[in-house]
Amino acid sequence: MLEVRNLHKAYRGGDDVLHGINFEVQPGEFVVVLGQSGAGKSTLLRCLNYLCLPSGGEIRVNGVRHNPASKSGRQAQRRHFAMVFQDHNLLGRLSVLKNVLVGRMSHIPFWSCLFQVFSRRDVALALQAIETVGLAEKAYERADSLSGGQQQRVGVARALVQRPAMMLADEPVASLDPQSARQVLNCLQNACRREKIAVVCNLHQLDYAMEYASRVIGLAGGKVVYDGPPESMTPQVVEAIYPGVAQNKSASIPETGAGGALCRNIPLAGAV
Ligand SMILES: Nc1ncnc2c1ncn2[C@@H]1O[C@H](COP(=O)(O)OP(=O)(O)OP(=O)(O)O)[C@@H](O)[C@H]1O
Ligand SMILES: [Mg+2]
């Protein structure tokens, strides 16, 4: 469904921060992108929906390459993707329902958004998405009265009503406690499993990658250094993704065994 070929990105004439990235994503995959700070994870995600314009290479969705240089090309590309942001980007004084309806903006006329007049179908879709993320009883409450984890689930519901082929999530659980983080990641995983939406999710927490990813892409210095299932990650792979960090933590890494068990011992969240 998504094909990324020889993707390069340099910011304003600087050096490349992405150096020829190649990968494909199929419907229903939960791809976690891991890498140290500055590895290029956010840049990669933003290139996929042309929020960042690639400097070279191409991105195809269902075999079609939309032209990033044209406004219509960027709009066409973005219709395939919905984004979940680290800081939710909700309108605090609006209700949960209205925040989720914002996700329908690209599907309805401008005046409808301006005057907050939504069709029954759109409201039903929004309520359904709110229920999917487990917040049915909060639908008419102000968004800023919800906890951080609940607000992030509203962000996921807003992404769901866009009916995207893919969801892009840039560190969606960075500021959440483990229980709230798992609730958000469960919502993303359900979208993958039930609706066959592909998710590409940047994370710093290796634990969560092991638990939720069907596939891990490891980035280091703007290059893919690992692409495969989480359970096949060896200490060498972890070292390639987090140079120096895994070595420093080698006391926690068994010499042998499945990656799933050994990687779980590395407390990387605070170390990157
Ligand atoms: N708007 C920008 N202008 C110039 N350079 C940028 C810009 N955004 C990112 N960079 C640079 O690109 C490189 C990759 O940054 P990016 O934000 O993609 O990394 P990241 O892996 O998401 O890091 P983090 O884990 O800290 O979010 C870094 O060297 C960064 O300084
Ligand atoms: Mg980032």
Ligand 1 contact, 140 CB (< 6 A):
no
Q: How far away, in angstroms, is 39 Cα from ligand 1 center?
A: 7
Q: 8-44: per-residue pLDDT in tens?
A: 999 987 999 999 999 999 999 999 999 999 999 999 9
Q: How far away, in angstroms, is 261 Cα from ligand 2 center?
A: 26
Q: How far away, in angstroms, is 206 Cα from ligand 1 center?
A: 20
Q: 43-82: per-residue pLDDT in tens?
A: 999 999 999 999 999 999 999 999 999 999 999 999 999 9
Average pLDDT, stretch 180-196?
93
Show the beta-strand stretches assigned E in the chain. 2-10, 16-25, 30-34, 56-61, 81-84, 166-170, 198-202, 215-220, 223-228
8 A C-beta contact, residue 1 and residue 80:
no
- What's the CATH class of domain 23-52+167-272? alpha beta
- Lowest-confidence pick of 21-35, 213-227, 242-256: 242-256
214-229 exposure pattern, b = at least 16 Cβ within 10 A, e = fewer: bbbbbbbebbbbbeee
Domain boundaries, the chain: 23-52+167-272, 88-163
Short-list 169, 177, 234, 223, CA closest to 197: 169
Measured between alpha carbons, how far is residue 258 from residues 23, 233, 243 in Å?
24, 8, 20
Calculate the CA 191 to chain-centre distance: 12
7, 21, 42: residue to mutate for ligand 1 pocket, most atoms within 8 A of CB: 42
Report residue 182: phi and psi, to 5°: -65, -35
